[in-house]
């Protein structure tokens, strides 16, 4: 018997990245809940997404959304990061928690400015505690591409970092369902690379007039041989 797909709640799904992820996962057959500070705003966004996708999507206040799922995906600006963690900490216990936050500091968003306390996803793991399996992913995806049925998202690989390999694998499969190729990229500390890359990609977009630059991992898994 086929294993049931995990239930997904997206905190920040009213923004571009969050709504794009919600769109792709709902279309792939996942049960999706949109979270917002206001239950009314979440329900309104969910109704619009339901109409667009033809898939039933729920809307809840952030804390309730985190409690109602198997996998929480956080897609909020860096300025809202800590406040959102506080709002969902209780509901996120026992869950996989995917953090797509990039610590951009306007106005110099094309310059890497990682926090002194470490990458955002590592701070998330420390704040939420050992009862939550934090995974870092989706920082390097152009949000606009996720809204397109003629998906450009497959042109960009996804780096997936986290201390729990099984939790990482769940997120690798989510990325695959969204039409992207994802790679296990090591422990949560390695999220620093994906978070920093976003500023580099912003610079490349501006310098070379690229419509949503991404990254690609070269090489073929297993091609090195060995026993």
What DSSP string describes 4-51? PPPPEEEETTTSHHHHHHHHHHHHTT--EEEEESSHHHHHHHHHHHHH
Residue 169 in domain: yes
For position 21, which CATH number holds?
3.40.50.720
Mean pLDDT rounded to a whole number for the chain: 94
- The number of domains in the chain is 1
Residue 148 in domain: no
pLDDT, residue 1, reads 53
The model carries a pTM of: 0.96
Show the domain range for 17. Answer: 8-139+153-208
Average pLDDT, integer, range 95-110: 97
Residue 98 belongs to what H/E stretch? strand 96-99
pLDDT, residue 3, reads 78
Residue 101 in domain: yes
112 pLDDT more than 80? yes
Average pLDDT, integer, range 97-111: 97
Q: How far is CA 52 from CA 6, 20, 119, in A?
A: 22, 12, 35
* Structure token digits, residue 143: 């949000």
Average pLDDT, integer, range 156-166: 97
Residue 208 belongs to what H/E stretch? helix 191-208
Residue 198 in domain: yes
155 vs 206, residue with greater confidence: 206
Query: What are the residues whose beta carbons fall under 8 Å from the beta carbon of 83, sequence distance 6 or more?
Result: none
151: confidence class by pLDDT, cuts 50, 70, 90: low
Average pLDDT, integer, range 8-37: 94
213: confidence class by pLDDT, cuts 50, 70, 90: very high
170 pLDDT more than 70? yes
pLDDT, residue 182, reads 97
169 pLDDT more than 70? yes
21: confidence class by pLDDT, cuts 50, 70, 90: very high
Query: What is the spatial distance between Cα 205 and Cα 189, in angstroms, rounded to a whole number?
Result: 26
Percent of the chain at pLDDT > 90 equals 88
Residue 103 in domain: yes
pLDDT, residue 152, reads 61
Q: In terms of DSSP H, where are the helices of 28-164?
A: 39-53, 62-67, 81-92, 120-128, 143-146
Residue 79 in domain: yes
124 pLDDT more than 80? yes
Name the least confident of 15-24, 158-167, 190-199. Answer: 15-24
153: confidence class by pLDDT, cuts 50, 70, 90: low
């Amino acid at each position: 018997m086929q294993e049931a797909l995990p239930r997904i709640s997206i905190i920040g799904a009213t923004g571009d990245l969050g709504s794009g992820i919600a769109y792709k996962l709902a279309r792939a057959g996942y049960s999706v809940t949109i979270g917002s500070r206001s239950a009314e705003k979440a329900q309104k966004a969910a109704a619009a997404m339901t109409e667009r996708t033809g898939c039933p999507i729920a809307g809840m206040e952030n804390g309730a959304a985190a409690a109602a799922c198997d996998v929480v995906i956080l897609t909020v600006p860096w300025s809202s990061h800590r406040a959102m963690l506080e709002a969902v900490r209780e509901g996120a216990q026992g869950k996989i928690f995917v953090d797509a936050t990039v610590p951009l500091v306007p106005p110099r968003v094309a310059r890497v400015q990682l926090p002194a306390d470490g990458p955002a996803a590592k701070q998330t793991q420390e704040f939420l505690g050992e009862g939550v399996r934090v995974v870092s992913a989706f920082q390097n995806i152009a949000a606009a591409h996720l809204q397109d049925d003629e998906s450009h998202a497959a042109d960009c690989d996804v780096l997936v970092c986290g201390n729990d390999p099984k939790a990482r694998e769940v997120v690798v499969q989510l990325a695959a369902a969204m039409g992207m190729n994802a790679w296990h990229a090591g422990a949560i500390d390695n999220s620093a690379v994906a978070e920093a890359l976003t500023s580099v990609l912003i610079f490349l977009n501006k310098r070379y007039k690229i419509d949503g630059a991404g990254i690609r991992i070269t090489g073929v898994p297993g091609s090195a041989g060995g026993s």
